[in-house]
Amino acid sequence: MAQFRLQNVEDFYELGEILGSGHFGEVRELRERSCGTCWAGKFVKLRRSVSSRLGMERKSVEQEVEILQSLQHINIMALRDVFESRAEIVLVVELIRGGELFDFIASKENLTENEAIDFLKQILRGIGFMHSKQIAHFDLKPENIMLSDKNAEHPEIKIIDFGLAHRFIAGEEYKSLCGTPQYIAPEVINYEPLSVSTDMWSIGVITYILLSGISPFQGETDQETLRNIVDMKYDFDEHYFSQTSNIAKDFIEKLLVKDQSERMTADECLLHPWIKPLTRKQAANRSRSSINMKNFRKFNARRKWKMSYNMVWACNRLSRLQLHCKRDKEDQELRSCESDQEDTETKPASLIRRRLSSSS
């Protein structure tokens, strides 16, 4: 089990600006008091009671920490330290200053397939490393792919958010309904046993979006999106893919495969001729092709808008819940009743709903 320090994080680190927020708390810049080095602190609120909807179970945070501890790779966010108090756990992690990869790409005038591949290779190396340790991420999406420093000549990819990650144990089946609709594989929706190749489906979706600026299975509603995924309903509409090489489409087709065992692995992806051209002709085709920037920027703007909409929605919901809790507490005090009135819903169901409604 991971060792959590029972000291106060603020005795060692000065709190800085808020860098982001997620379902279970916020991420803030931290400055190490002894040497001035900057880090990021992921503050995760702990669930106070079994029936509570707010906060995260200690066991899940332990799992995230244990997984991060075993993943030391240049393209995966590094964990430095963990602090624990009664109400929250703070993960001190590598500070990633470059923002999201998709925002960086959207800010560029244009991007060739060659340049996109440089990023994809790094993502695949990070994932390949994770998979070699039998760990799957299970929440690969643009929000979780960041850049260490966007001003560097070759910005480094950093994969973040291991909140849904899982380490497979030989002989044990693992099923889960968690994920984000646009990016989840059919086996998740069908509640079938998952494997590390479930991540490779998400890589197929991310690559498709990166090249065209449209999402392959996106429907009008989450339900429609999930139906499209299960029915494998996608195509390469010429209107969006006119600048895309055929070899890039072949790469995507070998990832968006229903049968998990038939999907390319991360290592196989790195050897695919789109990533590693075998002939001069393949290399030339690749460097002539570019990504559909106009549409990509539109996709990214819509994605950002939805993220802030979801955040406002989540904040409102949180305040309503807190208000509800406060009232309950007052009622409880009045009635001197011991039961927790905050939420009686079972945990897995509420988590699934939270994830599924998050960013489609």
Positions that interact with ligand ATP (CB under 6 A): 19-24, 27, 40, 42, 77, 93-96, 143, 160-161, 163
Collect all residues with Cβ–Cβ distance below 8 Å to 245 and sequence separation of at least 6: 113, 274, 285, 286, 288, 289
Contact 199, 184 (CB under 8 A): no
Catalytic residue among 139, 235, 328, 340: 139
Nearer to ligand ATP, 194 or 252 (CB): 194
Catalytic, 139? Answer yes
Collect all residues with Cβ–Cβ distance below 8 Å to 359 and sequence separation of at least 6: 141, 143, 180, 181, 182, 303, 306, 307, 310
Q: What gap in Å lies between CA 317 and CA 330, rounded to an integer?
A: 20
Tell me how far, at minimum, the Cβ of 251 lies from ligand ATP, in Å.
Answer: 27
- The structure tokens listed for 195 are 């494997």
Nearer to ligand ATP, 159 or 247 (CB): 159
Tell me how far, at minimum, the Cβ of 327 lies from ligand ATP, in Å.
Answer: 26
Tell me how far, at minimum, the Cβ of 66 lies from ligand ATP, in Å.
Answer: 16
Nearer to ligand ATP, 44 or 264 (CB): 44
Residue 42, annotated as binding a ligand: yes
Collect all residues with Cβ–Cβ distance below 8 Å to 194 and sequence separation of at least 6: 136, 138, 166, 174, 175, 176, 185, 187, 188
- Shortest-Cβ-distance residue relative to ligand ATP: 22
Nearer to ligand ATP, 30 or 256 (CB): 30
Tell me how far, at minimum, the Cβ of 297 lies from ligand ATP, in Å.
Answer: 20
Collect all residues with Cβ–Cβ distance below 8 Å to 323 and sequence separation of at least 6: none
Contact 357, 178 (CB under 8 A): no
Q: Which residue has tokens 């900057």?
A: 38
Q: What gap in Å lies between CA 248 and CA 340, rounded to an integer?
A: 54
Nearer to ligand ATP, 272 or 303 (CB): 303
Tell me how far, at minimum, the Cβ of 81 lies from ligand ATP, in Å.
Answer: 13
Q: What gap in Å lies between CA 123 and CA 158, rounded to an integer?
A: 8
User: Which residues are documented as binding site?
Assistant: 42
Binding residue numbers for ATP: 42
Q: Which residues are catalytic?
A: 139
